[in-house]
Amino acid sequence: MVATEASSGPRVASPGARREPRFDGLRGLMAFGVVVFHVAYEAGVSNHINDKGAGIWGFITEGLEVCLPPFFVLSGLLLYRSFARSILAGTPRPSAGRFLWGRVLRIIPGYWVLTAVALLIFNFFSIGSVWDVLKPVLLLHFLFTVDPANWLIGMEPTWTVPAEAFFYVSLPILAVVVNRYARRAADTRTRMLRMLVPLAAIALIGHAWIAFAYLPATSAYVWYFNFWPFGYIGFFAAGMALATVSAYAEVSGTTPGLYRFVKKHPNLLWLGALVVFVVNVPKPLGEPGAGTWGAFGQELIMHTLLFAFAVLIVTPLTVPGARSRLIDATLTTPPVRYLGKISYGIYLWHVPFIHLWFKNASIFGVHPGTSQSFRGDVGFWPLLAYVMVGTVIVATASHYLIERPVQRLRGRRERAAREPGAALAPAEG
């Protein structure tokens, strides 16, 4: 959810270029959808397993689960493009050390602040050892917690932070693998096509992991395995594929057939995303996680639909000249763009505000329980207003007091490293 590099246009330029408004708008729209998804669950509005919600509104709000995968696709797109361009152009790859350090500075400071707040305010009575503190600090809290009842209160959505971190660590390695496979090609187009083969294999691996997690035989541990990073690498791979096509268009100076189609019909892809959303809503084979073969098949269908939705909604934003009044009106309004700018903070902080509403925290002198125990005890609109106002305030503070200052320090350090004879340059390796 946290990739931020964007371009002065849809080509997605290197880090340091100004932000692309439509990418920010998509982040903002999807972040709001994630908040609504969680609030609707807590208010008892959305469907959940065999607990049906409020009619059609229950189906629609449950369907907002599609709002998370686009963040993974954006990460793959924005972070891999400089690597893809170097492979296609035959130029030196970006520094892996500098890339990883930049990613650490992007996600860890804000996450650590949330971790400190969650441990001290929500989970203080549950701290029994130093390991209980180190697990979330080291991003290991989901890998070492099998029972969802023992998840850290206020940090439930942060399973995506280790997933992103896993991708960050893997990306330079994947770039080396892709380069070794693709460099045998004699021309740029064939090299681009060869670059897509390993990415397709990664997507299949992600799908296979989801299949394993939702087998009836592993149903007792489904909410453990489901949150491992492997099931979501396919979404990152989709973004990497879009980055590969984008880099090919830039390096070769040609317009791929995909780009020609999207330029003519940008709204058609969004219409396809809407159709995918509608198809995903009913879940006729059974609710995922129920431990039946029907639920297993439903999860595989749902995972495929989430993949399709993310690709369809992101692709038009990557094509130069693919302009649409509908897309621009949806994504480029100032409020939506602002939500996109602070979207990382929105994602981190909205669930703590849900728990604060119910006084479900150690600070109130109680041992906090899981969110399921409060489901249906509050109205949707009051809770949504409370969560959005509180979250936007805290996410704004996080952006301007933590995330942005750290990024400025990073920028100064990198500029100093690029100066001749700079003393900091060796430290970037």
> pLDDT tens digits for 144-201?
998 888 889 999 999 999 999 999 999 999 999 999 999 889 899 999 999 999 999 9
Helix 69-89 with 188-213: angle, nearest 10 deg: 150
260: CB partners within 8 A, 6+ apart: none
Q: Where are the alpha helices (DSSP H) in 183-292?
A: 188-213, 222-225, 233-252, 257-264, 266-280
Q: What is the DSSP-derived secondary structure letter of residue 400? A: I
Q: Token pair 């690029």 is at which residue?
A: 418
Sequence spans of domains, the chain: 21-418
Tokens 């159709």, residue? Answer: 275
Question: What are 345's two structure tokens?
Answer: 């903070």
Residue ranges of the chain whose pLDDT lies below 50: 4-17, 420-429
Question: pTM of the full predicted structure?
Answer: 0.92
Helices (H), 358-403: 380-398
The answer to whether 53 and 62 have CB atoms below 8 angstroms apart is yes
Q: What is the pLDDT of residue 11?
A: 44
Alpha carbon 403 to chain centroid distance? 17
- Confidence at residue 195, expressed as pLDDT on a 0 to 100 scale: 98
CA 374 to each of CA 42, 49, 158: distance values in angstroms, whole numbers, following the listed order: 7, 16, 20
User: Are 12 and 246 in contact, with CB atoms under 8 Å apart?
Assistant: yes
Distance, CA of 68 to CA of 232 (rounded, Å): 11
Helix locations, 43-120, DSSP H: 55-62, 69-89, 96-117
Please identify which residue in the block is written with the tokens 């700079």. 422
Helix (H, G, I), strand (E, B) or coil at 9: coil
Instruction: Give the SS3 label for residue 297.
Output: helix
**Residues found in the chain:** 429
With residue 119 as reference, give the H or E element that holds it.
Answer: none
CB 86 within 8 A of CB 92: yes
Looking at residue 419, what is its pLDDT? 52
The closest of 74, 72, 80, 76 to 96, measured between CA atoms, is 80
Long-range CB contacts (< 8 A, 24+ apart) of 404-407?
Answer: 406/105, 406/106, 406/109, 407/105, 407/106
